[in-house]
Structure 1
Amino acid sequence: MKKTAIASLLGLAAVSAFAQMSPAGLWKTIDDDSKKEKSLVRITESNGLFSGRIEKLLDPDTKPDTVCEKCTDERKDKPVLGMTILRNLKQNADDKAVYDGGDITDPNNGKVYRARLKPVDGGKKLEMRGYIGPFYRTQVWHRVE
């Protein structure tokens, strides 16, 4: 009986650790240049695809009614608050620690970048990398407990 209880607890711990290594959850975005907190982004999973939307703006310089003037798709002139900025990411078949294949939109300039997410530090941080051709930029986002 005691061995079964211990095995069950270890199994639950493993499931909990795996869940933390998923990009799903609430993340505080940090600007890689200014190091300022920018927003809270909630990443969700549906049918193996991950998407993320801006849930809260944290930068006091950003007005709450800001719209994406420079977006060139269906998000043009739509509010940044509530905007889906991450789309169509899935777990990489070769490297299970990486989620890619989708894109991220920067509402400040309207540009869409190929995206790659990688949970690090036991799932407490998320490396969010945006690519244009061979060039990339990486931000480290922090999980909100």
Structure 2
Amino acid sequence: MRNLRTQLLCSLLALPLLATSIAAFAQSSPVGRWKTYDEETGKPRLIVDIYQAKNGAYAAKVVETLFAANATCTSCSGANKDKPIKDMVILWNLKPDGENAFSGGTVLKLSNGKTYKSKAELTDGGEKINVYGCLGFICKHQTWTREH
């Protein structure tokens, strides 16, 4: 009986550790909903969903626009020209590149309709992600916050 109590006690003590390690693992993935912010005003702009695409890379699509209900991409060219921003894929082909780092992607900047090479890095325990758009060696980034 004493051995059973000891095993039960050890199991109960181990549960919080297991839950913590599962939560930490989950936060090392960029998958989930993220809030983006306007570069000039700092106000929330979009809610995007980062998901794992069929090819195993990560992509992101807009699920909600916070600045205008029926916003379209007037600056975009090609297939995205004047298309609704909602449901538009704005990031694709992002692949893991070390711990909490991702590279090799492409990001669409909605304000000018141009695409840039992209990389990203999870920070603050997975609560923020820095998404970089690069032209040559010059990179600019936005910090997105995880939605819960």
TM-score normalised by the shorter chain: which range applies?
Answer: 0.7 to 0.9
> Secondary structure of the equivalent of 1:128?
strand
Larger Rg: 2
The residue that corresponds to 2:64 in the other structure is 56
Alpha-carbon offset, residue 82 of structure 1: 1.2
Gaps of 5+ in 1: none
State the superposition RMSD in angstroms.
1.7
Alpha-carbon offset, residue 31 of structure 1: 2.3
> Where do residues 7-46 of structure 1 align in structure 2 (5 Å cutoff)?
7-46=14-53
**Kept in 2: contact 1:127–1:140 (CA 8 A):** yes
Specify the code of the residue in structure 2 equivalent to 1:113.
Answer: Y
The residue that corresponds to 1:75 in the other structure is 80
Aligned mates of 2:69, 2:10 — CA distance in 1:
54
- Note if 1:114 corresponds to 2:121: no
Count of residues paired in the alignment = 140
**Kept in 2: contact 1:32–1:140 (CA 8 A):** no
**Kept in 2: contact 1:98–1:118 (CA 8 A):** yes
Aligned mates of 1:6, 1:75 — CA distance in 2:
54
Alpha-carbon offset, residue 117 of structure 1: 1.4
The residue that corresponds to 2:10 in the other structure is 3
Greater helix percent: which structure?
Answer: 2
Over the matched positions of the two proteins, sequence identity in percent amounts to: 32
Aligned mates of 2:73, 2:16 — CA distance in 1:
47
Deviations 1:40-71 (A, max 9, x none): 11111135311111111112xxx322222332
Gaps of 5+ in 2: 1-6
Specify the code of the residue in structure 1 equivalent to 2:58.
Answer: F
Specify the code of the residue in structure 1 equivalent to 2:123.
Answer: V
**Kept in 1: contact 2:65–2:71 (CA 8 A):** no
